[in-house]
A and B are shown apart, each in its own frame.
Chain A
Amino acid sequence: MAKVEKCSCGNDEEGLLNRLEEIIISFKEKPGALIPVLQATQSLFGYIPQEAILKISEILNEPLQKVYGVITFYSFFSLKPRGKYLIRVCLGTACYVQGANEILTALKQQLSIEIGETSPDKLFTLDVGRCFGACGLAPIIMVNDDVHQWVKPNDVKKIISSYKNKKEVKQEEAKNGY
């Protein structure tokens, strides 16, 4: 998979779109190009903007509905800009039984946002998942790639502030790339 490098033509939308075009073209002839291209897009922008959808559809010659269908099927992809940290609460059966819902409620209250929304300071985006495959640690939440296990509603405040106070975060990590 092509490694997405830092954009040399500046971080403006147009520069990123040009960069995206190069990436799409590099995948064009390969079978099953759609998902890697979407991953690259997500990584490049931090989300998948509408212009990118049109471009991907046009260059890969895939119907728009297929591109959009894949984006909305996989929770990895986002149509809205995400915050620096993506908090995902597992709502799988084990976590649910262990009180994941209360954790979700606590997060909503703490951040004053709903599922899928981003905090005004652009730091946190709240999302839910269906089983992260670590039921022994239930209930769990993930903040970007960090796993927090056996979480209790009271822990939420501490977890959030630990990220708020974090000084330096690598760009790659923040964009939830690979």
Chain B
Amino acid sequence: MQITINNKSYAAQENETVLDVAKRNGIYIPTLCYHAKTGQAAKCRACVVSVEGMRGYQTSCNLKIKEGMSVVTDSKEIKDAQRMVVDLMLSSGYHNCLACDRSGTCELQDACYHLGIEKTTFSDHPTGIKDESSEFIVIDYDKCIKCGRCVAACNHSVVNEVLGFGFRGLETTIMCDDNIPMGESTCVQCGECVQLCPTGALTDKKSRGLGRSYEFEKVDTTCPYCGVGCQMTLHVDRAKNKVVRVEGREVWPNNGMLCVKGRYGFEFHASPKRLQYPLIRKNGKHERATWDEALDLIAEKIKTTVDKHGPDVFSALGSGRITNENNYAIQKFTRAVIKTNNIDHCARTCHAPTVAGLAHAFGSGAATNSIDEILETELIFVIGSNMTEAHPVVSYYVKRAAQNGAKLIVCDPRKVDISHWSDLYVPIRVGTDVPFLNGLMSEILNNGWEDKEFMKNNTENPEEIKKWLKDFTLEQSSEISGVPVETMKHVAKMLADAKKVSILYTLGITEHVCGTDNVKTLANLQMILGHLGKRGCGVNPLRGQNNVQGACDMGALPNVFHNYQSCTNEQAIVKMENDWGVTGLSRKEGYKLPTMLHKATTGDTKILFCVGDNTVQTEPNTAKTIKEVEALDFLVVVDIFPNMTTEYADVILPDVCFNEDEGTYSNLDRRVQFLRKAVDAPGEARPTWWIMQELGKRFGVDLKFTSANATWEDMRQSGTIMGGITYDRIQHIGLQWPCPTIYHPGTPILHLNGKFTRGKGLFSQTHYRSQAELPDKEYPFILSTGRRLWHYHTGTQTRNSIGLENIFPEELLEISPVDAKKMNVKTGDMVKATSRRGTITLKAWVTERSPEGVTWCAFHFREAHANVLTNDAYDDVTETPEYKACAIKVEKVSDGVAVIDRGFRQARP
């Protein structure tokens, strides 16, 4: 199609607007209310143009093009009209660029510049009203042009539904909740409004006065927090060697959106508390040493111990928080140099049942579909996931899908915040997922709602599962799970009626003694419904940490090399011996993390090489973990901050963090994404691949880790599913594995058309097992654990970034209103929580999120963290601990200051 703009002909495509064509061809039209993400508002009228044959002026942002259309954007008449609109806008409020952080990126400033307006010809109306009450965002009402982009962003992009328009006519204003200050509102400070504001009305508080956008170097990278893998741009002050500001990149998977941690939790990299030099324990104290001293000591200690006791007394831990390259480096060192498979990482504590369960059923242990497909599905079934806090950006998509008409079922013992957006919230008793799901399946099968074709053609044992589920009644299921029969029938009908169902689950499924069975049951359900291998369907675990998917992919697991090549399969071992140029790789599976630790007390683990894990705070039953760590002969910890684990270390080595070296993270939809170096590491901190290379040298082995890229290339040469992913290919946007060759486009959907990686899908029979420690008279409450929106892992990053601790300064024990009343406890009172393993004292938060008999807290704060209480009971397939259920008692210690609880749709009291 051709259209004419200012007498010149331009090619255009159907469904484009005049503004699209003009923008693409470098013709400036001022626009303020329009943004690609918030859509065509046609509100501000700054973008008016004239079109031949049409009366009056047209707003170009919502004017669809037609063949032969003739548009004028640069006549005096049009420029005058545009100028008048912008001039009036300038007079409403007070638009002074001199001390504005938005200067240089302000779209109103741009409009004035292009239209030649130096100041308004009317009088301006400064009110001086600013809202500085929130931790991270400043609202300057004088600079607000009421374009509505922030309101659209808050309500339709991230769907937090806090910002709105209040009042009418001239008094119209943006406001939070019921017109209260942002800091007191239910705002979760995701900053999407700041990112989309065209003027200086909404700006980041942190970077105020630190410089204008054009003074900073922009570095595109990947977020170091949860597994969503948001793409962002760091604004770096080169002279100060500091990140000043973070902005979301408008590409997949996050399309510009971030959460409060990603956008505002970045200063940890420049914290003075960072580990900067190698430290060696001498006379009970950690003393500064040179790298050579530290590495020589480690190498010598390993050599003498392994020579005497064999390689299996050495164990290593990779991490879901460090790059692929660093995980690969650790596993290669452990396998190729030490010759043991005792390598594991923190997926053991979270999604190991996912890897085991899905690999068993489908042949591949990762999410089957991509994040963007959430917007295309008909029904989203969220089970065991507090996604608004643990995976905020995924929750934005889920909320948006629900807003656009997709059905949303949320199944969780706690009334998690996402349930406010659901069509149906199904409260279920803790740990009863297997009987609940089996009940649903028996209802589906008994009504003949299953996908018969799919079961027949794409699964291995359909008759077996039918037979096995036949005798399972809804009544049995209801009795165990506490979900009424009617509700179960309703859920089953909804699942069967939808043409596309996507299951999203998190640790509520995996962190149980029956974790692997829970995952297998979800796989069964989707195979019965035939919702696999299609867009908008699948079984999608939301991986917890930034690179926990990658740590698994890189073989930081005791049973597989990188790319899931079995380390007990002779063929794979021989291949790796050839590729790595070594002999004598271990033929037996290594110890899983709990076993490694447990064997310390029997003297079978003597050396632990721990990278980025903070084992002491993250493993269940801290008292036991401390005993195990103390029993080690030699503990090496590589980390970026001192933490509970470094206290027990014999040698501490300083690591670099996410913006101090190149590398890659793999996110929860298997997307390998690039990290760039933005600042220099503090002191003598070094990347783990460098440490491993240097250690290898001391064993006479060149591991070929000369840079992050060289490490990646070494992995890729012997990799399978990642063979086609190179740094060059992922500079702009990541690639989803499997990507076996250099020309392969990546794989958004696994098991396409029901062709499973393992051939045909495999149904499993799963049985109900109650939690290992049931509540009793002495310990009457169930304690469940998880993650807060405001914090991450053991708090080393979030508690060393400015502001997050002001919002959420200490851990709270969530108690149901019914239980709280019985104990005469109100929000803010100090309570003592005791299990058979320990006691913590913390403040109570009385909230309807907790059902009667269930309490909840997280493990972010070392002063009072859940793992003092949690039970060291494990899933028997994967040894994943049952973090989601143990028995505790709660006693009131003292009264606190009552806190006003506005009650709902937010992650704090």
A interface residues, Cβ below 8 angstroms from B: 50, 53-54, 57-58, 61, 63-69, 72-73
Q: Which residue of B lies closest to A53 (CB)?
A: B178
Interface bits B158-169 vs A (CB < 8 Å: 1, else 0): 000111111110
Q: By CB atoms of chain A within 10 A, which of B161, B168, B178, B902 has the most?
A: B178
| Docked-complex contact B166 and A65, CB < 8 angstroms | yes
Given contacts A54-B902, A54-B903, A58-B904, contact A65 B167 (CB under 8 A): no
A72 to B177, CA, bound (A): 13
| B167 engages A72 (CB within 8 Å) | yes
Chain A, Cβ-Cβ closest to B167 = A72
Task: Using C-beta atoms within 8 Å of the partner chain, give the interface range for chain B.
Answer: 20 to 34
Q: Please determine whether A63 and B167 come into contact, CB atoms closer than 8 angstroms.
A: no
Closest 4 CB pairs of A and B: A65-B164, A63-B161, A64-B177, A68-B178
Given A69-B166, A72-B167, A72-B168, decide whether A64 and B178 contact each other with a Cβ distance below 8 A: yes
Contact with A along B169-200 (1 / 0, CB 8 A): 00000011111000001100000000000000
Please tell me if B420 contacts chain A, counting CB pairs below 8 Å: yes
List residues of chain B with CB under 8 Å of any chain A CB.
155, 161-168, 175-179, 185-186, 420, 902-905
Complexed CA–CA distance, A61 and B419 (Å): 11
Residue in B177, B185, B186 with the greatest tally of chain A CB atoms within 10 Å = B177
Closest to B176 in A: A65
A158 to B698, CA, bound (A): 104
A-B contact pairs, 20 of them (CB 8 A): A50-B178, A53-B178, A54-B178, A54-B902, A54-B903, A57-B178, A58-B903, A63-B155, A63-B164, A63-B177, A64-B177, A64-B185, A65-B162, A66-B161, A66-B164, A67-B178, A68-B177, A69-B166, A72-B167, A72-B168
Point out the residues of chain B lying under 8 angstroms from A63, CB to CB. Answer: 155, 161-162, 164, 177, 905
**Distance in angstroms between the alpha carbons of A58 and B177 in the assembled complex:** 12
Taking CB atoms, residues of chain B closer than 8 Å to A69 are 164-166, 175
Verify A65–B168 contact, CB threshold 8 A: no
Query: Contacts of B179 on A, CB cut-off 8 Å?
Result: 68, 72
Query: Which residues of A have CB within 8 Å of B167?
Result: 72-73
Of all chain A residues, which has the CB nearest B155? Answer: A63
Bound Cα distance A72, B172 (Å): 9
Cα of A67 to Cα of B179 in the assembled complex, Å = 11
- Asked if A65 contacts B903 (CB within 8 A), the reply is no
Nearest Cβ in chain B — how far from A50, in angstroms?
7
B166–A72 CB distance below 8 A: yes
A72-B168, A73-B167, A73-B168 given; A65·B904 CB < 8 A: no
Of A57, A61, A64, chain B has the most CB atoms within 10 Å of the CB of: A64
The complex places the Cα of A63 from the Cα of B187 at a distance, in Å, of 11
Distance from A72 Cβ to chain B, minimum over Cβ atoms (Å) = 5
- Residue of A with least CB distance to B164: A65
How far, in whole Å, are A74 and B487 apart by their CA atoms in the complex?
Answer: 40
Within the complex, which residue of A61, A65, A73 is in contact with B177, where a contact is CB–CB below 8 Å? A65
* Known A53-B178, A61-B420: A68·B164 in contact at CB below 8 Å: yes
Chain B residues near A57 (CB-CB < 8 A): 178
CB proximity of B141 to chain A, nearest CB, Å: 16
Residues of chain A within 8 A of B164, CB atoms compared: 63, 65-66, 68-69
Chain B residue nearest to A73 in the complex (CB) = B168
Q: A residues within 8 A CB of B175?
A: 65, 68-69
A68 to B180, CA, bound (A): 11
Set of chain B residues within 8 Å of A72, measured between Cβ atoms: 166-168, 179
